[in-house]
Amino acid sequence: MSSPDKIKKVSIIISRGSLEGVYPGLIMANGARMEGIEANLFFTFFGLYAILEKYQDTLKVATVGNPAMRIPDAKGFPLPTFLGALPGMSAFATKMMQKEMEKLDIPPVSEFTQMISDAGGKIYACKATVDMFHLSPDDFVPHMDKVLTVGDFYELAAGGQIIFT
């Protein structure tokens, strides 16, 4: 039995703007670059906040409507949705998650996107979302490569794996 061909390119779509919605794509893109795999990040809808300079380090954990939310860790008691709606709960959960990520030396979003870019990963914004949110190039981090249409993204992703987080 022959082994499958090595993945040469991944294009990762990040559409959620919560901390737990952004980090999986960043971790996968960083891992791809560390393995010598071409990595393209395509930020759309609320995921775009991860590359908006003003907001990228203010992303929060979504505590409402998250059935996997547990206190204080993944082995703890489930957090009922109504408790997630209490004032300050999202900030509390965000601080807890950031504290755990710091222990593992996982950088904040701004540093992580810069690292990926410095390693040769490409960062793109969705044109439809940019237009819908009335954004300009000045709103984005300097290392954002380009605003792409969906068609441009598919052309760029051709021949590789597309991952939707």
Residue 65 confidence class, pLDDT cut points 50, 70, 90: confident
Q: What is the Cα–Cα distance from 98 to 13, expressed in whole angstroms? A: 23
For 7, which DSSP code?
Answer: P
Q: How far is CA 100 from CA 7, 62, 108, 130, in A?
A: 30, 16, 12, 32
- Taking only Cα atoms into account, the Rg of the chain, rounded to an integer number of angstroms, comes to 17
Amino acid at 45: F
Please give the backbone phi and psi of residue 25, each rounded to the nearest 5 degrees, phi first.
-65, -40
Q: Which residue has the higher pLDDT, 61 or 145?
A: 145
Domains of the chain: 9-57+108-164 (3.40.1260.10), 63-107 (no CATH)
Q: How far is CA 101 from CA 16, 35, 160, in A?
A: 19, 22, 30
Round the average pLDDT of the chain to a whole number and report it.
Answer: 89
State the pTM of this model. Answer: 0.87
- With residues binned 3-state (H G I as helix, E B as strand, rest as coil), the percentages for the chain, rounded to 5, are 40, 20, 40
Q: Which residue has the higher pLDDT, 84 or 107?
A: 107
pLDDT (tens digit, 9 = 90+) per residue, 109-121? 999 999 999 999 9
46-52 mean pLDDT = 97
The pLDDT score that the predictor gives to residue 125 is 98
